[in-house]
Amino acid sequence: MSARRRAALRIWAVVKTTTWERDRGRCRHCAAPATDPHHLKYRSAGGAHETSNTVWLCRRCHDAVHALQLLVWFTDANDLLDGVTFIWRPAWDGLERPGQRHAAGKTAGTGDAEDGA
């Protein structure tokens, strides 16, 4: 393992401990016992291992966020932590994850002419 990777893992360990204590071991959405740290701004979108970008969620809420059933709404882009609200997405709103299959077998959000995107 590279020195850079080891350093990143040490930082992440500190962030997880700090945010666990801040969130008092509870899910930031439903207050159930927390099981998973979650990046508000995904790492793949440039989010950092920082306390202001990390909240603890229970498994149910964490799975729901990644399934786009529980939406993370930012009311203040400059303050991700205090400006965040979780909103349950209505099943009828038509949002789908990119690459998710429609019942008709077409792929959502790919920009293919056949899927109408």
Q: Give 24-72 pLDDT, tens digit per residue.
A: 999 999 999 999 999 988 888 888 888 888 999 999 999 999 998 888 7
Interacting residues of 112 by C-beta distance below 8 A, sequence separation 6+:
106
Extract the runs of DSSP E, i.e. beta strands, from the chain. Answer: 36-39, 54-57, 70-74, 84-88
pTM: 0.68
Nearest-angstrom CA–CA distance, 63 and 57: 9
Domain regions of the chain by residue span: 3-91
CATH of domain 3-91: 3.40.1800
Identify the pLDDT of residue 106.
Answer: 37
Say what the pLDDT of residue 108 is.
Answer: 37
What does the pLDDT look like over 90-108, one tens digit per residue? Answer: 655 555 544 444 343 333 3
Q: Look at residue 112 in the predicted model and tell me its pLDDT.
A: 38
31 neighbors 67 (Cβ within 8 angstroms):
no
Query: CA distances (Å), 56 to each of 7, 35, 76, in order?
Result: 22, 7, 19
- pLDDT level of residue 85 (50, 70, 90 thresholds): confident
